[in-house]
């Protein structure tokens, strides 16, 4: 498989309830066909087991005068260096030493009780966030490399 693009994990985030910001935890275990252990969005039979958003997207939203940080858009993994929203569905990403995920969705409709949408008036996750399912389990931590190994 050819490697065409690389980035890195800025932070890993989880929340106990849906519709809220996630808290940065530094590292988490991603379980195959389930998602992030301890996160409200994890679950079998879901195409949206984990969510990823680039720090570059968060920086765009800072222009509205809010102090935003990883997890504020309810993403599980905040990344740097890859334009996630330009990856086609089916793209395979290797994260860290063990984890492999497959991109299943680009963006989403922002639900009515989205905390960021209520605070700022808009949310970047529907345009630039991506969702994936976990193909191979393992630990992911801040600083881990992300390698695009196959585009969909």
pLDDT tens figures, 103-144:
999 886 655 555 666 666 666 676 788 999 999 999 999 999
Q: Which two tokens stand for residue 131?
A: 């969702």
- What's CA 76's distance to the chain center, in Å? 5
Q: Is 2 exposed, middle or buried (0-12, 13-18, 19+ CB in 10 A)?
A: exposed
Q: Is 114 exposed, middle or buried (0-12, 13-18, 19+ CB in 10 A)?
A: buried
Q: Give the model confidence (pLDDT) of 51-94 as tens digits.
A: 999 999 989 888 877 788 999 888 999 999 999 999 999 999 99
Decide yes or no: CATH 2.40.37.10 for domain 5-150: no
Per-domain boundaries in the chain: 5-150
- Give the angle subtended at the CA of 84 by the CAs of 151 and 115, to the nearest 5°: 145
Q: Residue 110: what pLDDT?
A: 59
Q: Residue 109: what pLDDT?
A: 63
Integer Cα distance of 142 and 9 in angstroms: 5
- Which of the pair, 9 or 66, is modelled with greater confidence? 9
- 110 near 126, Cβ under 8 Å? yes
Report how far apart, in Å, the C-alpha atoms of 62 and of each of 66, 67, 100, 109, 124 are. 5, 6, 30, 21, 11
Does residue 7 carry a pLDDT above 70? yes
Q: Which two tokens stand for residue 120?
A: 């700022």
Q: Residue 84: what pLDDT?
A: 95
């Amino acid at each position: 498989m050819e490697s065409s693009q690389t980035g890195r994990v800025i932070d890993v985030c989880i929340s106990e309830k849906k519709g809220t910001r996630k808290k940065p935890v530094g590292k988490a275990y991603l379980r195959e066909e389930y998602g992030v252990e301890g996160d409200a969005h994890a679950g079998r039979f879901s195409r949206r087991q984990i969510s990823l958003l680039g720090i570059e997207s968060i920086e765009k939203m800072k222009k509205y005068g809010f102090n935003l940080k990883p997890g504020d858009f309810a993403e599980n993994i905040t990344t740097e260096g890859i334009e996630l929203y330009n990856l086609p569905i089916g793209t395979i990403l290797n994260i860290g030493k063990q984890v492999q995920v497959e991109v299943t969705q680009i963006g989403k409709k922002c639900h009515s009780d989205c905390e960021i949408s209520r605070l700022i008036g808009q949310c970047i996750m529907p345009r630039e966030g991506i969702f994936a399912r976990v193909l191979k389990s393992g630990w992911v931590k801040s600083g881990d490399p992300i390698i695009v190994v196959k585009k969909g």
